[in-house]
Amino acid sequence: MARLVVRSRAESPELKKAASSIEQAAWTELGYLNYTRAHYEHYEGLLDEYPEYQLCLVDEETGYPVAVANSVPFVCSGPDDLPAEGWDWVVETAARTKHTKANMLGALAVSVPAVHRSKGYARLIIRSLLNLAESKKLNGVVVPVRPTGKVRHPWVPIADYMTWKDDKGRPYDPWLRSHLPPAARSSGLASAR
């Protein structure tokens, strides 16, 4: 395994550029998940507002990111009170409360280039988000997960898809497996906007 270090986009313009390229490449094929009103109105501005919350798992030998995590601090009464709007709500709330003392971290995207998938890098960068929340003295992390494998099963209702398991009893969707470690819990399904 490569020697990896966690860095933030705040550390260099080159890292910011590389991270943006990785995110764009990772999410382009899932375009139906991208570019909601909240995305257009707030996403890039929030990343620029909080560069220290945009993490990169960097291969020390090449200096290039192998995984990227975008997140924002926001105000929330707690994980049990999350509305059905999911990702859009986190983005809109972070934009609306950006000048208020945050108490939660919202994970907006975790991106891993295809060449680096299935190496455990997603789990490492997600762990880095948990460490970031702890270092900023936030109460927890909200991760609105978009099941990437769902695109291959368009006719299956999302509520059914979310119950599917693999032969080891884990979530069927590979992205859900990465995002739902043993200590995590699902708070429900978000509605489509």
Share of the chain residues as helix, strand and coil, in percent rounded to the nearest 5: 45, 15, 40
What's the rounded mean pLDDT across residues 133-141?
Answer: 93
The region, left, alpha or beta by phi > 0 then psi within -120 to 50, assigned to residue 142 is beta
Domain annotation for the chain: domains and CATH numbers: 4-179 (3.40.630.30)
Count of CB atoms situated within 10 Å of the CB of 93: 22
Per-residue pLDDT at 190 exceeds 60: no
| 8 Å CB contact between 164 and 56 | no
| 8 Å CB contact between 85 and 76 | no
Per-residue pLDDT at 66 exceeds 90: yes
| 8 Å CB contact between 27 and 109 | yes
* Residue-wise DSSP of 60-113: TTT--EEEEEEEEEE--S-GGG--TTHHHHHHHHHHHTTTS---EEEEEEEE--
What's the rounded mean pLDDT across residues 104-133?
Answer: 91
Count of CB atoms situated within 10 Å of the CB of 149: 15
Of 127 and 81, which is predicted with more confidence? 127
User: What pLDDT does residue 59 have?
Assistant: 94
pLDDT digits (tens, 9 = 90+) for 33-65: 556 888 788 999 999 999 999 999 999 999 999
Token pair listed for 56: 């990169």
User: What pLDDT does residue 188 have?
Assistant: 56
What is the chain's mean pLDDT, rounded?
A: 84
Please give the Cα distance from 176 to 189 (Å, whole number). Answer: 13
What's the rounded mean pLDDT across residues 87-94?
Answer: 89
pLDDT digits (tens, 9 = 90+) for 142-171: 887 777 788 888 898 888 888 899 998 888
Query: What's the CA angle centered on 110, arms 107 and 116, to 5 degrees?
Result: 160
Name the residue among 119, 105, 45 with its Cα closest to residue 69: 105
What percent of the chain lies above the pLDDT cut of 70?
84
Please give the Cα distance from 134 to 99 (Å, whole number). Answer: 20
Tell me the CA distances in angstroms from 90 to 39, 117, 189, one per residue in order. 11, 26, 14
Of 50 and 178, which is predicted with more confidence? 50
Q: Indicate the pLDDT class of residue 79, thresholds 50, 70 and 90.
A: low
User: Is the CA virtual torsion 48, 117, 181, 174 positive or negative?
Assistant: positive
Q: Indicate the pLDDT class of residue 179, thresholds 50, 70 and 90.
A: low
What's the rounded mean pLDDT across residues 85-108?
Answer: 90
Does the reported pTM lie above 0.75?
yes
